[in-house]
Amino acid sequence: MNLDAAPFIVPSSSGPHDGGMKKVKVWDPAVRVFHWGLGALLLAAFLTAEEDETLSIHVKIGLVILGAIVFRVAWGVWGSKPARFSTFVRSPRDVLAYARAYIRGRPPVHTSHNPLGALMVIALLGTLLATILTGILLYGGPEYGGTLLAGSAHDVEDLHEGAAHLLLWLIGLHVAGVIVSSILERQNLVLGMITGRKRVEGEPPAAVTPARTVTGLVGAALIGYTLVRAVMLVLPVSPAEAAPPGETPSQLLRAYEAEAKADPSFRGADAGRGRDLYTREVGRKADARACTSCHTSDPRQTGTSSVGKTIAPLAPSANPDGFTSRKKADKWFDRNCKQVFGRTCTAAEKSDLLRYLLDQ
């Protein structure tokens, strides 16, 4: 690696083990606010991902994260020198050279992100973007019904969950890397992202003029905000209104039956058809999916989601709070029918399944 051509690097021969190191201001407020703010947003996103009651919050958090990512990309072009991608994104050859020095325990000290840290920044931003875009396809739109064509919801949901799981692994790897780098460089990199200061050798990075800082911040913020607003205009996102109180499973059943009677062949809800719908497997044998995949073969028992979260029983006899809101019931049917069958369920299918659940 050509150290003379690489900006903001301290050679390992005069690295953090000698007395020539001094603390300088590296991370500007925009980088620090983005870093910790993104961490808080991701925590909130994971905590609101599974419950129907918090799905609207989950979607809005995703849109805020999208705006934050766009802001960081813009700031990576116009921001202070240590924050720019042109400063810390290195060639594969430089990354490999740094990795070898890292394994030996004497990596060069970079004022900005080191090459491995830069690789993690790109991986995290890319995975976040994939998670958000698949989430928009699944949940973007009125009542969070999604924008997918029939048959594609299952695949996109798998991609969304896969990207979210990958994100968790990357975050864990990032934390481990920060800890190891702090030990090797003999400085607290976590504290550095709070105060903005790091121990380096030589002159501090050139400061960005106040005018450019303000212009860059405003420009980056406007780009992020404009993109989020554009997404919300194309895919209107608003919280579902609260359903009228006092609905019961029997009332919902009658409402679905009334809708289903628009088809003259419908003769009333049938528990047998509902059981068949509940246990029907869709897909190839190796990865076939059914309602029972998460809710178990007995709807009176608690189930487990694909991410290991406990699901309340479906049968009203075991879960009196279930199927007491038309809006929530419609949203549950739409989401689960798309996941299992790749399409929305008809009013007849909803009435059959609810009839079966009421008989349990």
CATH number of the domain where residue 254 is located: 1.10.760.10
Category of 296 on φ-ψ map: left (φ > 0), alpha (ψ -120 to 50) or beta: left
Other CB atoms closer than 10 Å to residue 280's CB: what's the count? 14
Taking residues 89-99, what's their average pLDDT? 91
User: In this structure, is residue 243 part of a structural domain?
Assistant: no
Length of the chain: 360
User: In this structure, is residue 177 part of a structural domain?
Assistant: yes
Answer whether residue 209 shows pLDDT above 60.
no
DSSP string, 268-290: S--HHHHHHHHH--BS-GGG-B-
Residue 290's φ and ψ, nearest 5 degrees, are -145, 170
Is residue 101 within 8 A of residue 108, CB to CB? The reply is yes
Residue 56 to residue 54: CA distance in whole angstroms:
6
Q: Are residues 226 and 77 in the same domain?
A: yes
Residue 232 pLDDT grade (very low, low, confident, very high; cuts 50, 70, 90): low
Q: Are residues 41 and 121 in the same domain?
A: yes
Q: Helices then strands (H, E): number in the chain? A: 13, 6
Q: Which of 234, 257, 284 is the last residue of a domain?
A: 234
Q: Are residues 224 and 296 in the same domain?
A: no
The domain total for the chain is 2
Q: Residue 217 has what pLDDT?
A: 64
Residue 158 to residue 29: CA distance in whole angstroms:
37
Residue 125 to residue 78: CA distance in whole angstroms:
18
Residue 132 to residue 130: CA distance in whole angstroms:
6
Report CA 136 to chain centroid distance, whole Å. 10
Q: Are residues 211 and 257 in the same domain?
A: no
Q: Are residues 138 and 204 in the same domain?
A: yes
User: In this structure, is residue 299 part of a structural domain?
Assistant: yes
- Residue-wise pLDDT for 113-130, tens only, equals 999 999 999 999 999 999
Taking residues 289-301, what's their average pLDDT? 86
Q: Residue 137 has what pLDDT?
A: 77
More confident residue, 231 or 163: 163
Q: Are residues 195 and 333 in the same domain?
A: no
Q: Which of 234, 261, 290 is the last residue of a domain?
A: 234
Q: Residue 343 has what pLDDT?
A: 83
User: In this structure, is residue 102 part of a structural domain?
Assistant: yes
Residue whose C-alpha is closest to residue 168's, from 32, 57, 39: 39
- Residue-wise pLDDT for 4-56, tens only, equals 334 444 444 344 444 456 778 888 888 898 999 999 999 999 888 877 667 77
Q: Residue 120 has what pLDDT?
A: 94
CATH number of the domain where residue 186 is located: 1.20.950.20
Select, from the ranges 67-76, 214-223, 235-244, the one with the highest average predicted confidence (pLDDT). Answer: 67-76
Residue 345 to residue 336: CA distance in whole angstroms:
9
Q: Which of 179, 204, 234 is the last residue of a domain?
A: 234
Range of the domain at 35: 9-234
Other CB atoms closer than 10 Å to residue 100's CB: what's the count? 11
Residue 269's φ and ψ, nearest 5 degrees, are -65, 140
Q: Residue 162 has what pLDDT?
A: 87
Residue whose C-alpha is closest to residue 72's, from 216, 276, 265, 275: 216
DSSP string, 88-102: H---HHHHHHHHHHH
Which residue in this structure is represented by tokens 């990865």? Answer: 287
Out of 137-141, 228-232, 312-316, 349-353, least confident range: 228-232
Q: What letter represents residue 307's amino acid? A: V
